Amino acid sequence: MAATASIVLIIRQDPRTSALPVEALRIALGLAAGENPITVVLMGSAVLLLAEDTEEIVDLDILEKYLPSFEHLQIPFLLVQDPGPQPALLDGFAVTDGTLESARQAMTAADRVLVF
């Protein structure tokens, strides 16, 4: 039996200007379907992927298709938000507020790190 490898997937691009953050979530969901534990780190404006107001997000229809699976599987999210006003977030997700230091610790502890 192969050993499992922990994965940290970091999303730091703005989902209002790029489709990559939503694609990264799709990849994270695929990785979570395997044996490997995964944590998704949302940095800066990428936190908007879990916001109540998502109408400006590129590929919103795809995001809406995948978010219920993240909620159901309770895949952990670590949020590293920018200073200032914070968006209202959707309920039901396994969310932890973090810092750059906690994100660094998560990356250091992981076997694999993917950055988007």
Q: What is the distance between the alpha carbons of residues 79 and 46, in angstroms, rounded to a whole number?
A: 9
Q: What digits encode the pLDDT tens for the residues 50-69?
A: 999 988 999 999 999 999 99
Query: What are 69-88's pLDDT values in tens digits?
Result: 999 999 999 999 999 889 99
Q: What pLDDT does 4 receive? A: 78
pTM: 0.93
Q: Is 65 within a domain?
A: yes
- The answer, yes or no, to whether residue 1 has pLDDT greater than 50, is no
The domain spanning residue 47 has which CATH number? 3.40.1260.10
- Domain, as residue range, for 97: 7-115
Domains identified in the chain, total number: 1
Domain-embedded: residue 89: yes
Q: Is residue 50 part of a domain?
A: yes
Name which residue leads in pLDDT, 2 or 53.
53
